[in-house]
Structure 1
Amino acid sequence: MGLDILAYSAIEKIDCVFNEDGEPIDSETREPLDCDCYIQLYVNNSFPGRADEIENKGVYSFRDSVGFRAGSYGGYNNWRDDLAKIAGWPLGEYEQYGERRASHCIECWNGANGPFSELINFSDCEGVIGASVSQKLASDFKEYQTMADAHPDAYFREKYAEWRRAFELASDSGCVKFS
């Protein structure tokens, strides 16, 4: 198990209803949707402001997409901590399972805003980030590219490039889906 990421560009809401199996169908003809490229999006209400332009459980068409595996949940969280570190977030401590742990993500988790904060303080398993937040994150990834290139871990650099590409694509009226 782990975190999979799908980024989409040019999403448009499809007028549909759902059949008895929960599949989207045309609202007028009650036939299957007349396109192969649609997605249903889940807005994670635990992280408000990440996808204000997207209707929860809405069905959308899209123009282009890209996907990648962000890693195991633990691996993604380690990568996210390295991201927070290169962005200059200070090292803090938190308690988990009765143990004290250190992380550069603490200030973001506590609501601070700044570089990558919308990604650092977001679900590691499900939800969607909309186009406006994707534009901000794409800008952050561009701004910190030199620091990412200097990171000693090739895996970090590879994932950085994949995340940057996802947010750049989603900046074009799209979204980034976590699942």
Structure 2
Amino acid sequence: MGLDISAYSKLVEAPDAERDEDGELVYWQGMASFFDNPDFPGRFEGLKEGMVYRIEGDCSSLSSGYGTYNGWREQLAELAGYPAEPYERHGRAQHSHCVSCWNGAAGPFAEQINFSDCEGTIGPVISAKLAKDYAEFAERAEAVGGYFWEKYQEWKGAFDLAANNGAVNFH
């Protein structure tokens, strides 16, 4: 199992999308609906819960194992300058650069660092903010290089797409 991400641009509301008797879409091709994860308020901004959207722009996807993604996200938090802070996991004390964001810190990448690693959607408003963060930190990320830089570019591309009236869907 792992984390799959789909990014979309140019979403257009399709309130008249045909549904079957169970409320499921009859035709999914070129359409999408999104989940507003209630544990992360505000991330869905710019989208409507329960709305079906017609995809009139581009799409992209990326995948990662949960552990790999969380390790990468730890590097992202370190790159952004969040200090390593203690937290408890499975009864053991550990340190993570993500802790500040988990505790509500605002700053670069905070909305992604403090977001589900398995389900939910980041809408166009927060995607635009994150796209800006990715652009501002690109030079530093490139200096890190390797796998980190490779994934950084993929995430940057996803948020760049979604900033154009789109979404980044974690599923």
Residue of structure 1 in register with 2:60 after alignment: 66
* Number of the residue aligned with 1:102: 95
Can you give the 5+ residue segments of structure 1 that lack an aligned partner in the other structure?
25-31
4+ residue stretches of structure 1 with deviation over 4 A? none
Residue 176 of structure 1 aligns to a residue whose secondary structure is strand
The reply on whether 1:170 has 2:162 as its aligned counterpart is: yes
TM-score (normalised: structure 2): 0.94
Is the partner of 1:39 in helix, strand or coil? strand
Deviation at 1:162, TM superposition (A): 0.2
Q: What SS is found at the alignment partner of 1:128?
A: strand
Encode CA deviations 1:15-49: one digit per residue, 9 max, x unaligned: 1353135421xxxxxxx44x720112111011001
Q: CA deviation at 1:73?
A: 0.8
Q: Secondary structure at the match of 1:150?
A: helix
Helix, strand or coil for the counterpart of 1:107? helix
What is the CA distance between 1:14 and its match in structure 2? Answer: 1.0
Identity %: 46
For the residues of structure 1 that align with 2:83 and 2:69, how far apart are their CA atoms?
A: 19
| Code of the aligned partner of 1:13 | E
Q: Aligned residue for 1:114?
A: 107
Root mean square deviation of aligned Cα: 1.4
Mind listing any 5+ residue stretches in structure 2 that lack a counterpart? none
Give the whole-Å Cα distance in 2 for the aligned partners of 1:36 and 1:10.
15
Contact 1:3 1:72 (C-alpha < 8 Å) held by counterparts: yes
Contact 1:43–1:57 (CA under 8 A) maintained in structure 2:
no
Give the aligned residue type for 1:65: C
Query: Comparing 159-168 with 57-66, which one deviates more in the overlay?
Result: 57-66
- In the aligned structure 2, how far is the partner of 1:103 from the partner of 1:54? 31
Larger radius of gyration: 1
Determine if the alignment matches structure 1 residue 142 to structure 2 residue 135.
Answer: yes
TM-score by length of 1: 0.90
